[in-house]
Amino acid sequence: MDLLEYQVKEWFGKIGIPVLPSQRIDHPTDLKRLKIRYPIVLKSQVQAGEREKAGGVRVVETTIDAIATAQNIFNLPIWGQLPEVLLAESKYDAQEEFYLAVVLDTALCRPVLLGCTEANIDWETAGEKIQHVVVEQEFSPFYARRLALKMGLQGALMQTVSDIVEKLYQLFVQKDLDLVEIHPLGVNSAGQVMALNGKVRVNKQAINRHPEIADMAAKMVGLLHGNQKNNGLLSRWDGIEMQGKICIIGNGKGSVLTTLDEVVNAHGHPGKCVNLRHTFMSDTTQTTFSDRLISSLTNLVNDQNTQVILVNFLGTIPQVDQLPEIISQFLHSDRSQITSGVSAANGNKSQQPLNLPWLILRLAGSEFNHVREELAARKTPDQLLIVVENLDEAVKEAVRLAKTPVLKKR
């Protein structure tokens, strides 16, 4: 679970990491009661990346400009997400920018301290520039100082950065985190440092061990899409729920959010979105990718809002050879066994079988060549299956079919 920036900075401030004066903005008119001086930076609070490139981070000089800009940002979707909250923050002139992080290395089963004197990191060549220190035993300030020295820092700046690394580690342990990073840590002309942006990823299995974090998770579900509903797929933090007819399944966060964004841009209405990459939080035993695909298809088809299921698999997936059989079995499901979950919940004895939704598979990559060929050779009932390689084509079909009356699917 990733926190929003304003939540991250609240945690930073409490543990003693320097952050800029800031104020949460729930509505553009809140800027009339701003307690920090202009110029300020307005930041969209969404979990999507590249906010600045998308126009979600803007510098403003006056209250009038701030209100107008805030109205624009509140209505600006970034990777399919509309912000419910903005962060207003003092502007900071950084002469240097560093990268600092503490991450759990699952291979080593140990925390690792990361640092780099460049904030704009090319992650393909990051290994050449990022310094790291493995915390092999009980943590001590020695590890933080060692990282600062490996970064080439000296004097007061070395001590300041090592102090911040030590506090990052304290936060990492206290909150059961998988990752905490400052990106960037700004250094001004006077040598003062400031955490200009940050990221926190909470271990999913640890959420319920921390009442504060569990409460944040429940509220964040509503903040993501203005919907406080917290059921099945969404409560497990394996996806996003909206109220449209086009449900989305992807093999990674990027796959899901890209598809969601494309559907919105095509004037479609997304429904539930599911990421199959990792084991669901509710799983009591280890599950495979195929297990999660089967359970997700079953959950989505039992939702009365689902009219189209759009699957976007990009690159590679585990158990790819099982995909044709899973899809075939799903399309040949006994419809009499599929009933509305709403009717069941209401105790309605006269439940009506639901139609299977349209299933659109976007399979991109040479690994799926034999899958496409095998699916093309199989006969599917009512021509409910569409297999394409181009995402734009898949989205166009999904939006078109979502507007088709349900009766035409029979």
| Domain annotation covers residue 259 | yes
Average of pLDDT values for 340-346? 38
Q: What is the mean pLDDT of the chain?
A: 84
What pLDDT is stored for residue 129 in this prediction?
84
Lowest mean pLDDT among 12-21, 185-194, 285-294: 285-294
Lowest-pLDDT choice from 60-69, 121-130, 325-334: 121-130
* pLDDT-based confidence at residue 353 (cuts at 50, 70, 90): very low
Burial of 146 (0-12, 13-18, 19+ CB in 10 A): middle
Q: Give me 55's structure tokens.
A: 């126009």
pLDDT band for position 341 (cuts 50, 70, 90): very low
Give the rounded percent of residues in the chain with a pLDDT score beyond 70: 82
pLDDT at 79: 73
Which of 20-34, 254-268, 302-316, 340-354 comes out lowest in average pLDDT?
Answer: 340-354
pLDDT at 208 over 80: no
Please determine, for residue 96, whether its predicted confidence score (pLDDT) is greater than 50. Answer: yes
Whether 325 is covered by a domain: the verdict is yes
Of 30, 56, 90, which residue is a domain's last? 90
- Indicate whether 390 and 244 sit together in one domain: yes
- pLDDT at position 281 over 90: no
pLDDT band at 225 (very low <50, low <70, confident <90, very high): very low
In-domain check, residue 275: yes
Mean pLDDT within 336-350: 41
Are 162 and 187 within one domain? yes
Q: Which of 32, 64, 90 is the last residue of a domain?
A: 90
179 domain-assigned: yes
Decide if pLDDT at 346 tops 80. no
CATH number at residue 48: 3.30.1490.20
Do 83 and 100 fall into the same domain?
no
Do residue 158 and residue 111 come from a single domain?
yes
405 vs 257, more confident: 257
Cβ-based neighbours of 386, under 8 Å, separated by 6 or more: 358, 359, 360, 361, 394, 397
Residue 112 confidence (pLDDT) above 70: yes
Backbone angles phi, psi at 55, to 5 degrees: 95, 15
User: How far apart are alpha carbons 295 and 286 in whole angstroms?
Assistant: 14
Q: Is residue 8 part of a domain?
A: no
Same-domain pairing of 261 and 148: no
Residue 54: Cβ within 10 Å count: 16
Least confident residue range of 156-170, 250-264, 309-323: 250-264
Tokens of 314: 């990009």
CA pair distance 74, 68, nearest whole angstrom: 10
Q: For residue 26, count CB atoms less than 10 angstroms from its CB and return exposed for 0-12, middle for 13-18, buried for 19 or more.
A: exposed
HEC sequence for the chain: CECCHHHHHHHHHHHCCCCCCEEEECCHHHHHHCCCCCCEEEEECCCCCCHHHHCCEEEECCHHHHHHHHHHHHCCCECCECCCCEEEEECCCCCEEEEEEEEEECCCCEEEEEEECCCCCCCCCHHHCCEEEECCCCCCHHHHHHHHHHCCCCHHHHHHHHHHHHHHHHHHHHCCEEEEEEEEEEECCCCCEEECCEEEEECHHHHHHCHHHHHHHHHHHHHHHCCCCCCHHHHCCCEECCCCCEEEEECCHHHHHHHHHHHHHCCCCEEEEEECCCCCCCCCCCCCHHHHHHHHHHHHHCCCCCCEEEEEEECCCCCHHHHHHHHHHHHCCCHHHCECHHHHHCCCCCCCECCCCEEEEEEECHHHHHHHHHHHHCCCHHHCEEEECCHHHHHHHHHHHHCCCHHHHC
Tell me which of 40-44, 206-210, 234-238 is least confident: 234-238
Judged against a pLDDT cut of 80, whether residue 239 lies above it is answered with: no
For the cut 80, the answer to whether the pLDDT of residue 265 exceeds it is yes
Residue type, 352: Q
Q: How far is Cα of residue 331 from the mean position of the Cα atoms in its chain?
A: 30
Considering the domain architecture, whether residues 110 and 132 belong to the same structural domain is answered as yes
Beta-sheet strand order (sheet of 308-314): 239-240, 270-275, 246-250, 308-314, 358-364, 385-388
- Per-residue pLDDT averaged across 25-45, rounded? 96
Kindly report the CATH number assigned to the domain that includes residue 157.
3.30.470.20
CATH number at residue 301: 3.40.50.261
Average pLDDT of span 182-197: 95
Domain encompassing residue 182: 96-209
**Number of structural domains found in the chain:** 3
- Check whether residue 103 and residue 83 sit in a common domain: no
Are 280 and 393 members of one domain?
yes
Angle between helices 5-15 and 155-174 (to 10 degrees): 110
| Together in a domain, 111 and 75 | no
Confirm whether 297 is domain-assigned.
yes
Mean pLDDT over 253-279 rounds to 85
Asked if residue 225 belongs to a domain, the reply is no
By C-alpha distance, which of 389, 385, 367, 364 is closest to 376? 385
Q: 244 with 305, same domain?
A: yes
Examine the domain organization and report whether 250 and 311 are in the same domain.
Answer: yes
Query: Does 188 lie in the same domain as 125?
Result: yes
Domain boundary residue, one of 63, 90, 117: 90
Look at residue 233 and tell me whether its pLDDT is greater than 70. no
Residue 106 lies in a domain: yes
